[in-house]
Amino acid sequence: MTSKVITVDISERVEEALRLMIKFDVGSVIVTDKQKPVGIITERDITRVALRGDSLLKIPVRGLMSKPVQVVDPDTEVWRTFEMMLKLGVRRLPVVDNEKLVGIITEKDLTRWVLRIFYEPTLPEEIRALVQNQQIEALTGRPRCPSCGNYQDECVCVRTAVSPEE
């Protein structure tokens, strides 16, 4: 799972959710109410509504989010997560422990897991780089965040839910 999750409060507008998706280069944001996950807004949700002619950016996220949000707990077996995502037709599942958001499982997370399992016990170096690095560096010379080490334009130190281990 990815332990840093981009969230938006239920009181915010869609414009803020979209701004966060662009800023952090993610395809979704988890909608929270008092830090409890209550919904999710995805790129797909936004594109499906965009042509209706509504003033999309000004509506509250609660009017666009998918709810109730489907979640898994940290102990869910990987194959169950795959199964759930396929049955639900979703590409990401928030990970919730005692009603607290602790991460998100995405298609990319599952792809990395499959590669690790497929190549065990001898993971080729070029594959190791892909499965160990959550962010594949496409550009060089960009400034890095002093707190987390990610590129500043991809930094998730602000507006994130962090797992208790961090």
List pLDDT tens digits, range 132-163. 655 433 333 445 666 666 555 555 555 444 44
Residue 116's pLDDT is 76
Domains identified in the chain and CATH numbers: 5-133+143-161 (3.10.580.10)
Q: Is the dihedral of CA 1, 72, 57, 16 positive or negative?
A: negative
Q: Give dist(CA 40, CA 37) in Å, integer.
A: 8
pTM: 0.70
CB 64 within 8 A of CB 45: yes
Start-to-end CA span in the chain (Å)? 14
Q: Strands, DSSP E only, in 79-161?
A: 92-97, 100-106, 160-161
Given a cut of 80, whether residue 62 has pLDDT beyond it is yes
